[in-house]
Amino acid sequence: MAAKLYQFLTSPFCAKVRKVLDFKDVEYEIVEVDYLERKELLLASGQLMVPVLALASGETIVDSARIVRRLEELYPEPTVLPPSWSGLHQVLADYIDTQLEDALFKASIPDEVAFFRRQGRDREALWRMVRERKYGAGFVEQMITEHGVQQSRAHQALLPFEEALSDRAFLLGRIGLADFALYGQLYSLAFTGELKISAELRNLRMFFGRVDRISSAPEAA
Ligand SMILES: N[C@@H](CCC(=O)N[C@@H](CS)C(=O)NCC(=O)O)C(=O)O
């Protein structure tokens, strides 16, 4: 029996986990969670956030960092924490999952609103409510109005990564956790099917393709 990954397509943390599963060649199926109807997710994990990984053994893990740690224990090879680079990968992945996430998430808001609107006004309304509870009333409309500013902020935040990738395929040389975290966050600029990483960020565009090709995405369950 394959593991099950509960996800929202738009989630960068789910994209990170998908790619680690692909890299480690773990068989899994995707359960695309309906944003408004999360009964199956709740029953499987006792909470309402993704990613959640339900292993064939019956073990269920919530949170992308915990999932990756557990996968590393269960499937140590190929490793995402190369010897003597493990600490740096973790520090960099943490930065990517928080600081870079903040910039890219804000720049991707118009696409996310459109994505949830296509699924229905009710999904869009819940999505907006969750965001505005966290960031305050009017946040979503403000991000749409300020889209240009948010795009240049995201561009600035990506420049150090673009530079690092000018002479190597992966951030710290050998592929590892930080690369999967970066791939996940870049997925916020790709979930529409169009790669919205600026043409000026050529190394990052190639990096995204390189990690994306690690294996083909499995079919939705
Ligand atoms: N630190 C968590 C963050 C997970 C997270 O923020 N998940 C979001 C989707 S990207 C979520 O499930 N949000 C609930 C909601 O939007 O209702 C992780 O790394 O897994």
Mark whether 38 and 138 lie in a shared domain.
no
Which runs of E-coded beta strand occur in the chain? Answer: 3-7, 28-32, 52-54, 60-62
Mark whether 91 and 197 lie in a shared domain.
yes
Report if pTM > 0.75: yes
Does 11 contact ligand 1 (Cβ within 6 A)?
yes
Question: Which of the residues in the chain have pLDDT under 50?
Answer: 217-221
- Ligand 1 atom nearest 35 alpha carbon: 17
Mark whether 95 and 160 lie in a shared domain.
yes
57 in a structural domain:
yes
Quote the ligand 1 centre to 7 CA distance (angstroms): 9
- The boundaries of the domain holding residue 176 are 86-212
Does 36 contact ligand 1 (Cβ within 6 A)?
no
| Per-residue tokens: 83 | 């010897």
| Per-residue tokens: 58 | 């019956």
pLDDT, tens digit, 9 for 90 and up, residues 96-138: 999 999 999 999 999 999 999 999 999 999 999 999 999 999 9
Quote the ligand 1 centre to 36 CA distance (angstroms): 14
Residue 96 identity? I
Does 50 contact ligand 1 (Cβ within 6 A)?
yes
- We report the CATH number of the domain holding residue 25 as 3.40.30.10
44: left (phi over 0), alpha (psi -120 to 50) or beta: alpha
